[in-house]
Structure 1
Amino acid sequence: MTTRYAIADTIREDGRIEAGSSAFRKANLAMFVGGFATFAMLYATQPILPRLAADFAVAPTTASLSVAAGTAALAAMLIPASVLSDRYGRERVMKAALVLGAIVALAAAFAADFTQLLVLRVLLGAVLAGLPAAAMAYLGEEVAPGAQGRAMGLYIAGNALGGMSGRFLVAVLTDWSSWRLALAALGFIGVIAAALFWYALPRSRHFAPRAAGLGDVLADAATLLGDRGMRSLFAIAFLMMGAFTSLYNYLGFRLQLAPFSLGQSAIGGVFMLYLVGTASSAWTGRLVDRIGRRTVLWMMILASGCGLALTLSGALPAVIAGVAVFTFGYFGAHTAASGWVSRRAHERRALAAALYLCSYYLGASLLGTLSGLAWERAAWPGVVAALALAMSIALGAAWWLRKLQPLGAPAATALNPVS
């Protein structure tokens, strides 16, 4: 009896990947590496925005387009990429995205001027869209429901670690040599990540091709957008990612000024706080499996807001602590919300993930750029005020979601914490 139940803990009759199995470890490795490479390449220019602004003689808001252009292109391509993943499979789309992304990331190191750099950053975002568009759907289809929170948390932890490592590496290499060498190094890391992803990712066993005609896509999108719960989750993604990107976009400009006067490497070191996001994602995934998304989501947004307030301090330790708390709360909220979208969407997982991430990256692009106007008009207090407004709206949406009724469930189960 004991042996039988031990086996059942890792191998399900329906073939879904259960926690503790070798397939679960391989899936986590692949998704972690994929998320790592995607975020490392996508946000590579963020810590060197002041250097790009100086080298190309452009304003800070214009320099921030090197980040916003990539995220906007990724957002625009998420739905087409999800359609491709519905027709040709999650594996193919994710693998192609990583390979093409590594090639374009290498090419960006040789941009002759700022316009060429922006074009390549747009292309990078467009090709990378395949991984996030299919990743949530893959985990929702292949991983057992009781282990999805942990799997999603580890995937997002890879995003966080990649974002941290890529930014830190670029900052240090730029200080030591040049931003071109730094971007080239990230391109080579992308090549290695793509090879490891191909090796480790378990084959899809539950993927079923779906019709990908325009009418079908529009009908599915209308169904998803007709659900107020989905709309609220998409809005939270837009607002929280916009706040997160804005904070890190303009933090470097602030830390260059008095009373901090930090150098490029020291500013890059601040991005090591992404380790907090890595820990938050993995921990939040387990917490979601225990107490549910309804409670976790609003608590994490509130924590993030408290961290934002701390960054107003003129003392560097307080600013760093504030960024750490902000980062912890942000990644926790993203873990809870993204897993909720995948669970609520059922057979429309790929398109739901694409709509969620489209909102997510549009927030990064639009709010990440527009908050530059707040920086130019009122410096850091202006940025904090703008982000506080966005996060207050997100918190209100998360508070309403506490009583959201699960799709297809009777009213008596409306407070089911995991639906």
Structure 2
Amino acid sequence: MIHANTPAWRRATLALCLGSMLVFINLYAPQPLLPLLRDTHDASTLKTGLVMSLATLTLALSLLVYGPLSDAIGRGGIMRVSLSVAALATLLAAFAPGLDWLLAARVLQGVALGGLPAVAIAWMGDEFSPEAMSRAVGLYIAANTLGGIGGRVLGGVVGEWYGVQASFVAVGGLTLVGVAVFWWLLPAASAFSSQPFRLGRACRQMRGHLANPWLLPAYLIGGLNFLVFINQYSYMTFRLAEAPFALGPRWLGLLFLTYLGGTLGSMLSARVVARAGAPATMGLGVVIMVLALGLSLMPVLAVIIAALTLSAFGFFLCHATASGWVGRQAREGRGGASALYLVFYYLGASLGPLWLEPFWLWRGWPGVVAASWLVLATTGWLSWRLGKRLQRAQHQCVVERRLEHV
């Protein structure tokens, strides 16, 4: 068992954070290029958005395989191999001759990128003490945000100066170097207990996770919040590429520095949970997102940047809490439980345009905000219900302990 603040904990946490950054660099590097891709290929907003949503969709579906598979064969090998394949898929995307071929490369990329996020938190659950895991999860989620920032900034800057192809080449080359470091840093697992893979048992475990009243609300909160959060950036790039802002890919990439608000939110999540509890922390994150969306309606670039920063803080405060909650509440098949959270998470991202696009075509950005508020009303209610359930369970435990001493 690895304990917090030991050399082994630092090395393992650094490896997983690096891997997380590589995943999200590759996943989100094309996002600031969406207006450029739309104009280059004369495509609709919805089809151009498939560059993001197809990768997140295939990533989500791959998690259904990686999670149970990792319970059988181990988690370290899956993370190492999948990151290597993802780097090669990114280089293939660089030489796609058209938008359809680029979409096909993104499908392959999404499948490969699913390996690490499917099992990283389960790896922590196997190897780390509860305190060590709580601290590591916050840092790991913070690394997600740094990867998202880095990928978008790198993609936008290189894409504006040297073109889309050079952007993918730069990301792929950087990933190959990072993968080599990841292989070296990640320690061998010592506490993993293999469970032979059986499809029937895996399906039963998945059904059990979905029927678990402690897990399902967290799955829905993560997926629906991400539906709003990630797609607000996609539609914001289209908004800011038009007059009166007229920002190019380089500046749209720098817009994602607002993710630093999410880095802070992730790092503070463990402290907030210790004071207020996990359900209340999730609800707080939702409320902050609601307020930030309202602020984003103002047609002032500085205010929009502040709103996106605040939204990132609220989202990642909630996301870090929800993902850690799943890792703690799962009693068996932890890899499958964590993977199922991410299935909901990325399905939300990939299906978001289907929900938001009609509102965008109807009223532009105010329509996107209205559609987002409807979704966040649902996740706020789910957080409140989960908090009520936790209060009842804690009260029942107190009553039972008193009866034991009577």
Aligned to 2:397: 412
Of 108, 129, 140, 2:125 maps to 140
Aligned to 2:222: 237
Bigger CA drift: 218-227 or 365-374?
Answer: 365-374
Is the partner of 2:195 in helix, strand or coil? coil
Of 11, 20, 23, 1:26 maps to 11
Within-5 A mapping of 1:9-48: 16-48=1-33
Aligned to 1:152: 137
Of 74, 89, 101, 1:89 maps to 74
Aligned to 2:235: 250
Distance 1:368 1:22 in 2: 44
Equivalent residues of 1:249, 1:368 under 8 A apart: no
Of 50, 55, 61, 1:76 maps to 61
Residues 193, 286 of structure 1: alpha-carbon distance in 2 compared, 3 angstrom cutoff: farther
Aligned to 2:281: 296
Equivalent residues of 1:406, 1:413 under 8 A apart: no
Pairing 1:113–2:65 present: no
Q: CA deviation at 1:202?
A: 2.0
Within-5 A mapping of 1:9-408: 16-405=1-390
Q: Which runs of 5+ in 2 are unaligned?
A: 400-406
Residues 410, 211 of structure 1: alpha-carbon distance in 2 compared, 3 angstrom cutoff: farther
Q: CA deviation at 1:413?
A: 5.6
How high is the TM-score relative to the length of structure 2? 0.95
Letter in 2 for 1:51: L
Residues 204, 102 of structure 1: alpha-carbon distance in 2 compared, 3 angstrom cutoff: same
Distance 2:173 2:67 in 1: 27
Is the partner of 2:250 in helix, strand or coil? helix
Q: CA deviation at 1:57?
A: 1.1
Equivalent residues of 1:241, 1:360 under 8 A apart: yes
Is the partner of 1:402 in helix, strand or coil? helix
Equivalent residues of 1:48, 1:179 under 8 A apart: yes
Equivalent residues of 2:260, 2:312 under 8 A apart: no
Q: CA deviation at 1:314?
A: 1.1
Is the partner of 1:189 in helix, strand or coil? helix
Letter in 1 for 2:168: L
Residues 278, 56 of structure 1: alpha-carbon distance in 2 compared, 3 angstrom cutoff: same
Q: How many residues align?
A: 399
Bigger CA drift: 324-333 or 274-283?
Answer: 274-283
Distance 1:31 1:287 in 2: 23
Deviation per residue, 1:122-149 (Å, 9 max, x gap): 0111011111111110111111102222
Q: CA deviation at 1:51?
A: 0.6
Is the partner of 1:122 in helix, strand or coil? helix
Q: CA deviation at 1:368?
A: 3.5
Equivalent residues of 2:68, 2:333 under 8 A apart: no
Deviation per residue, 1:299-343 (Å, 9 max, x gap): 111111111111001111111111110000001110000000010
Q: In percent, how many aligned pairs have the same letter?
A: 37
Residues 410, 85 of structure 1: alpha-carbon distance in 2 compared, 3 angstrom cutoff: farther
Distance 1:27 1:91 in 2: 11
Residues 42, 369 of structure 1: alpha-carbon distance in 2 compared, 3 angstrom cutoff: farther
Distance 1:295 1:408 in 2: 15
Q: CA deviation at 1:157?
A: 0.9
Equivalent residues of 1:61, 1:373 under 8 A apart: no
Equivalent residues of 2:71, 2:333 under 8 A apart: no
Letter in 2 for 1:139: M
Bigger CA drift: 226-235 or 118-127?
Answer: 226-235
Deviation per residue, 1:266-303 (Å, 9 max, x gap): 22111111122112211213433454312211111111
Distance 1:162 1:146 in 2: 25
Q: Output the aligned Cα RMSD.
A: 1.7
Q: CA deviation at 1:263?
A: 2.3
Letter in 2 for 1:334: H
Equivalent residues of 1:281, 1:335 under 8 A apart: yes
Q: CA deviation at 1:20?
A: 1.2
Letter in 1 for 2:18: V
How high is the TM-score relative to the length of structure 1? 0.92
Q: CA deviation at 1:406?
A: 9.6
Distance 1:273 1:117 in 2: 27
